[in-house]
Structure 1
Amino acid sequence: MINSGLGNDSNIRFYLGYSGWGEQQLDEEMDEKSWLTVPATGRLVFFQNKTEIWKEAVRSLGDAYTPILNYPLDPSFN
C-alpha cells in the first residue's frame, strides 16, 4: 500500500499472537455462538483510538452487549 501511494506508515497496525484450534473446532465454536463477530467496517478497522477498537466493536452489537464493557480485564477481579 505504501509503495502504491495508498497509505503511509501511520495507516499500518500489526497484531501479534497465536491461537490454535483442532480440526473443525473453530467452526463448531462459531456454530455454538461462542464468539461475538462484527463486520470489519472501514470505520472500525481504521478506528483512530487503538485502545478503544474493542469497545467500539462491542458497542456496535447493541445495548444487550454493553455490560461486557464493564467486565474487569483480569477475570480474577470478577
Structure 2
Amino acid sequence: MKLIDFIKWLSTILVLIGIMLTNLNFYPLNIFIHGSGAIGWTLAGYLSSDRAIFTNFGLQIPLFLIGYINLFQ
C-alpha cells in the first residue's frame, strides 16, 4: 500500500469516528479525532495535488482551531 493510500484510509476512519463521537456528544474527543482526520486529508490533498480535497479539508482546520481555543480558555 502506498503512503498516500494509507493516509487517506486512516484519515477517512478518523473523520468517520469523529462524526460518530459528535453525534454521541463526546466533546472534546470528537474535535481531536475529527480534526486529525481533516489534517490527514489536507496532507493527502497536498501530496496528490488535489485542490478540491486540499481546499475542503484545509478550510476545516481553522474551524477545529476555534473548538480547541474554546476548550482551553
Q: TM-score, normalised by structure 1?
A: 0.24
Greater relative contact order structure (CA < 8 Å, 6+ sep): 2
Q: TM-score, normalised by structure 2?
A: 0.25
